[in-house]
């Protein structure tokens, strides 16, 4: 994950709280110092850091713990809330474009090398995966190889691209293909950059802006410039009317914390993060989810996002909804495991599920091998409908029957049922906490759902 070092320090700080005997002023002081150190190491601006920790301290000392939380839990949830606020307000997502005017136009602006063209391709792929008919428009007339680059990018995204290597005015390129745009749901428009936000660049963006009237103007900014992102974001915000920010290159820089917080104070919301050079290396940014993951609380939404990319969107949504409602039977378990085995190593996936990272899951649960899945599937074919929907009724004599019918030994079938019960317990907790992380954590603190 990005900002691994920051995440590690924050996690160990929270562990310290969890392990302490009681919450008093000296613990709160220590906590504040730890958080300061962690954030400063991640290049976050000193004044911002002190403002933040001052707020945490004031709330921790001044507020009564709500009835359903212990003092420790309250402290953790204050840290979580304040860090999330620090990174921006909950925002409208732009992954569901809805029935707005067609096409929905997203224009990317930014300096040379910030990652505009690469990000344009990632966005085109992001929306295509979600079922939108998307095309790229290349308006960078300055860089010699810009048009070839966007052609390549469109190729990897598998989308159409509109460009003209000969035309020297971006607005003329736009006009040339105007009649074709109505055939698309979304246009992602790549523009030219400069070394700095010069008069020349501002004029060009203004002109293009006036002509295209984009629905979103997103500034692409590289995370490796750290705190300098603030000035850049503010300047672009003031002179080009940006509606949001994409922070690229979050992978491989320790300065990402500086860049994110610097952007958050600019007033324009952070929409996405670039986390690598490849076409799929893009994540939607949501302050709560992001901080939750930094703190090791997991991010169910990100998990569902990932599931969407691998399995069909409707399937993922359905699975997610049923999961949250606690309606969960053996068929779901099977589907969930097949989906997860497609998503990559399970150990990586569970990090994103709230609470899972704190549970000591047995190794076998994390490595559901192909072989096991196959056997389970065969066994399931010998379950009758009622048993599949309500596995609780499967007693020893039924196991015996299923084993004979399927040729899968009793041990395997018991293993399958055990796995089901464990998953069901976690699912129940999700349901009970209604997506509220602090409540969910409280439940987790009680009885761990595995091992028994």
Residues near 368 by Cβ (< 8 Å), separated by ≥ 6? 337, 340, 341, 346
Could you give the 3-state DSSP secondary structure of residue 182? helix
Of ligand GDP, Mg ion, none, which one does residue 115 interact with (CB within 5 to 8 Å by kind)?
A: ligand GDP
| CA-only gyration radius of the chain, Å | 25
- Which of the ranges 111-119, 217-225, 269-277, 297-305 carries the binding residues for Mg ion, by CB under 5 A? 111-119
In the complex with ligand GDP, the residue whose CB is nearer, 194 or 414, is 194
Site for ligand GDP in 195-214 (CB under 6 A): none
Round to whole Å and give the CA distance between 106 and 219: 11
Contact status: 274 vs ligand GDP (CB under 6 A): yes
Supply the minimum distance, in Å, between the C-beta of residue 112 and ligand GDP.
Answer: 5
Give the contact letters, 334-373, x = binds to ligand GDP (CB under 6 A), - = no. ----------------------------------------
Round to whole Å and give the CA distance between 406 and 382: 6
CB 116 within 8 A of CB 201: no
Contact status: 222 vs Mg ion (CB under 5 A): no
CA angle 152, 157, 161 (to 5 degrees): 60
In the complex with ligand GDP, the residue whose CB is nearer, 1 or 366, is 1
Cis peptide before 327 (omega within 30 of 0): no
In the complex with Mg ion, the residue whose CB is nearer, 116 or 308, is 116
DSSP character string of 352-413? TSTTTTTS---HHHH---HHHHHHHHHHHHTS-HHHHH-GGG--HHHHHHHHHHH---HHHH
- Which of the ranges 106-114, 313-321, 361-369, 437-445 carries the binding residues for ligand GDP, by CB under 6 A? 106-114
- Which of the ranges 109-117, 152-160, 320-328, 384-392 carries the binding residues for Mg ion, by CB under 5 A? 109-117
Contact status: 81 vs ligand GDP (CB under 6 A): no
In the complex with ligand GDP, the residue whose CB is nearer, 115 or 354, is 115
Task: Pick one of 102, 113, 378, 401: the residue that binds ligand GDP (CB under 6 A).
Answer: 113
Torsions phi, psi for 312 (to 5 deg): -65, 145
Length of the chain, please? Answer: 452
In the complex with Mg ion, the residue whose CB is nearer, 249 or 293, is 249
Supply the minimum distance, in Å, between the C-beta of residue 192 and Mg ion.
Answer: 7
Q: What is the CB neighbour count within 10 angstroms for residue 290?
A: 24
Task: Pick one of 7, 117, 119, 266: the residue that binds Mg ion (CB under 5 A).
Answer: 117
Contact status: 193 vs ligand GDP (CB under 6 A): yes
Round to whole Å and give the CA distance between 251 and 253: 6
Contact status: 308 vs ligand GDP (CB under 6 A): no
- Which of the ranges 6-14, 110-118, 165-173, 210-218 carries the binding residues for Mg ion, by CB under 5 A? 110-118
Task: Pick one of 7, 32, 117, 134: the residue that binds ligand GDP (CB under 6 A).
Answer: 117
* Token code pair at residue 8: 């590690």
Could you give the 3-state DSSP secondary structure of residue 280? coil
Contact status: 9 vs Mg ion (CB under 5 A): no
Of 208, 198, 250, whose CA–CA distance to 226 is shortest? 250
- Which of the ranges 70-78, 112-120, 128-136, 359-367 carries the binding residues for ligand GDP, by CB under 6 A? 112-120
Supply the minimum distance, in Å, between the C-beta of residue 45 and ligand GDP.
Answer: 22
Looking up tokens 């990319």, which residue turns up? 309
Round to whole Å and give the CA distance between 161 and 140: 13
Percentages of the chain per state (helix, strand, coil), in multiples of 5: 60, 10, 35
Supply the minimum distance, in Å, between the C-beta of residue 118 and ligand GDP.
Answer: 3
- Which of the ranges 79-87, 271-279, 317-325, 444-452 carries the binding residues for ligand GDP, by CB under 6 A? 271-279
Contact status: 115 vs ligand GDP (CB under 6 A): yes
Query: Among positive and negative, which fits the CA dihedral 388, 390, 392, 396?
Result: negative
Contact status: 114 vs Mg ion (CB under 5 A): no
Residue with the CB atom nearest Mg ion in the bound state: 117
What is the arrangement of strands in the sheet containing 282-284, beginning at the earlier edge strand?
A: 160-162, 134-138, 186-190, 104-109, 216-222, 244-248, 270-274, 282-284
In the complex with ligand GDP, the residue whose CB is nearer, 126 or 376, is 126
Task: Pick one of 72, 105, 116, 237: the residue that binds ligand GDP (CB under 6 A).
Answer: 116
The DSSP element (H or E) to which 101 belongs, if any, is none
Interaction site with Mg ion (CB under 5 A): 116-117
Interaction site with ligand GDP (CB under 6 A): 110, 112-118, 193, 248-249, 251-252, 274-277, 281
């Amino acid at each position: 994950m990005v900002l691994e070092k920051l995440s590690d320090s924050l996690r160990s700080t929270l562990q310290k709280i969890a392990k302490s005997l009681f919450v008093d002023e000296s613990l709160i002081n220590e906590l504040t110092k730890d958080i300061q150190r962690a954030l400063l190491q991640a290049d976050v601006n000193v004044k911002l850091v002190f403002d933040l920790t001052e707020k945490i301290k004031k709330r921790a000392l001044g507020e009564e713990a709500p009835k359903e939380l212990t003092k420790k839990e309250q402290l953790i949830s204050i840290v979580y809330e304040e860090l999330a606020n620090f990174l921006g307000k909950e925002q409208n997502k732009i992954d569901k474009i809805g029935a707005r005017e067609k096409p929905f136009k997203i224009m990317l602006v930014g300096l040379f090398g910030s990652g505009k063209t690469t990000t344009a391709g990632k966005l085109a792929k992001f929306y295509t995966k979600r079922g939108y008919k998307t095309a790229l428009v290349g308006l960078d007339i300055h860089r010699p190889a810009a048009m070839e680059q966007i052609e390549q990018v469109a190729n990897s995204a598998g989308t159409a691209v509109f460009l003209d290597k000969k035309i020297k005015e971006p607005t003329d390129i736009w006009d040339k293909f105007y009649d074709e745009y109505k055939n698309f749901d979304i246009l992602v428009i790549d523009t030219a950059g400069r070394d700095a936000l010069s008069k020349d660049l501002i004029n060009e963006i203004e002109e293009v802006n006036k002509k295209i009237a984009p629905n979103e103007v997103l500034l692409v900014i590289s995370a490796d410039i750290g705190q300098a992102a603030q000035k850049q974001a503010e300047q672009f915000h003031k002179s080009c009317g940006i509606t949001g920010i994409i922070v690229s290159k979050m992978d491989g820089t320790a300065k990402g914390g500086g860049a994110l917080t610097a952007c958050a104070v600019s007033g324009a919301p952070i929409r996405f993060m670039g986390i690598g050079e490849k076409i799929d290396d893009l994540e939607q940014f949501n302050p709560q989810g992001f901080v939750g993951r930094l703190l090791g609380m997991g991010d169910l939404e990100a998990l569902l996002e990932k599931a969407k990319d691998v399995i069909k969107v409707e399937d993922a949504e359905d699975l997610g909804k049923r999961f949250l409602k606690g309606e969960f039977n053996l068929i779901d378990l099977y589907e969930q495991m097949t989906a997860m085995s497609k998503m990559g190593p399970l150990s990586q996936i569970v990090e994103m599920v709230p609470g899972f990272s704190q549970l000591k899951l047995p190794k076998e649960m994390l490595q559901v091998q192909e072989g096991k899945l196959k056997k389970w599937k065969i066994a399931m074919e010998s379950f009758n409908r009622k048993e599949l929907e309500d596995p609780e009724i499967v007693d020893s004599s039924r196991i015996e029957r299923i084993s004979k019918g399927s040729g899968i030994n009793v041990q395997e079938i018991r293993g399958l049922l055990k796995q089901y019960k464990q998953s069901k317990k976690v699912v129940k907790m999700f349901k009970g906490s209604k997506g509220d992380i602090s409540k969910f954590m409280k439940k987790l603190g009680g009885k761990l759902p595995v091992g028994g």
